[in-house]
């Protein structure tokens, strides 16, 4: 009997302590945000580490031109922001925040490159709802998720992790945050990492 009571208490505590999945999204997207529900926080294994040279890539952007990581070598620090997918809850309210803090990136002589595994037309339609973005948005669609795979942030369902990589002017990875996919990374933490680059 005592065992049963203990079991009941344990089960009750476990049920009540499950963190409620929380999110918000802007009315800018109307009813077009697809609810993914709560997902496995991280579903990939990193293939790069801090201190290592960041793998170069060539990806098409929604503005039309192709962008390589190496084009910033010796000129700018780079923040790669992988978000899992267009038209999903947390992703839709991440880049619009970065869009109003260009000055904070400028202060650290950094550029931001937004990357998803979606195709260009989808990215174009989705990011149009965010207002005019100051940073390039890149499509890692074909070969599907190749860059995400190279960095070790491609999930088993073909989306990418919600991951941030800070890369210095020498092309060296200085900070990695493969974040819980269900949560938005703190802006303050990223800004602090950028400040370290000075």
Partner 1 sequence: MKKYVLLSIVLALSFVVAQPVSAAGQPKPGEKLFDFTLPVPAERADRNYLGLSGWGKTFKVADIKANLVLIEILSMYCPFCQKEAPIVNQLYEAIEKDPAAKGKIKIIGIGAGNSVYEVDVFRKRYNVPFPVFPDPDYEIHKKCGEVRTPFFIAVKLNANGTQDVTYARLGGFGEIPAFLEALKKSAGL
Instruction: For residue 46, give the nearest of 186, 177, 168, 152 by alpha carbon.
Output: 152
175 is catalytic: no
Question: Does 96 interact with partner 1 (rule: CB under 8 A)?
Answer: yes
Backbone angles phi, psi at 10, to 5 degrees: -60, -45
Piece of the chain touching partner 1 by CB under 8 A; list 25-33, 116-124, 150-158, 170-178: 25-33
Question: Does 27 interact with partner 1 (rule: CB under 8 A)?
Answer: yes
Instruction: For residue 176, give the nearest of 160, 162, 157 by alpha carbon.
Output: 162
CA distance 117 to 155: 11
Expressed in angstroms, the distance from the first to the final Cα of the chain is 64
Closest CB to partner 1 among residues 46, 191: 191
Can you list the positions of beta strands (E) in 51-109? 58-60, 66-68, 77-82
Closest CB to partner 1 among residues 28, 197: 28
Instruction: For residue 90, give the nearest of 154, 141, 15, 160 by alpha carbon.
Output: 160
Contacts to partner 1 from residues 126-155, by CB under 8 A:
129-131
Question: Does 194 interact with partner 1 (rule: CB under 8 A)?
Answer: no
Applying CB under 8 A, among 6, 50, 58, 100 the residue interacting with partner 1 is 100
Backbone angles phi, psi at 53, to 5 degrees: -70, 130
Of the residues 91, 138, 153, 167, only one is catalytic, namely: 91
Closest CB to partner 1 among residues 67, 83: 83
Residues contributing to the site for partner 1 (CB under 8 A) = 4, 7-8, 11-12, 14-16, 18, 20-28, 93-94, 96-97, 99-101, 129-131, 184, 186-188
């Amino acid at each position: 009997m005592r065992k049963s009571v203990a079991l009941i208490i344990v089960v009750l505590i476990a049920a009540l302590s499950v963190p409620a999945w929380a999110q918000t999204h802007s009315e800018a997207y109307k009813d077009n945000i697809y609810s993914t529900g709560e997902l496995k926080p991280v579903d990939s294994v990193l293939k790069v580490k801090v201190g290592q040279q960041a793998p170069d890539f060539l990806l098409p952007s929604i503005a039309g031109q192709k962008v390589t990581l190496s084009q910033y070598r010796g000129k700018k620090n780079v923040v790669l922001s992988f978000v899992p997918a267009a038209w999903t809850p947390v992703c839709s309210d991440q880049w619009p925040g970065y869009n109003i803090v260009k000055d904070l990136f400028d202060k650290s002589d950094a550029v931001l490159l937004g990357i998803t595994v979606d195709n260009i037309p989808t990215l174009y339609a989705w990011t149009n709802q965010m207002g005019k973005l100051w940073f390039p948005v890149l499509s890692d669609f074909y070969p599907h998720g190749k860059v995400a795979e190279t960095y070790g942030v491609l999930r088993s369902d073909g989306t990418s992790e919600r991951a941030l990589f800070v890369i210095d002017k020498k092309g060296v990875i200085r900070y990695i945050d493969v974040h819980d996919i269900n949560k938005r990374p703190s802006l303050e933490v990223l800004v602090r990492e950028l400040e370290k680059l000075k």
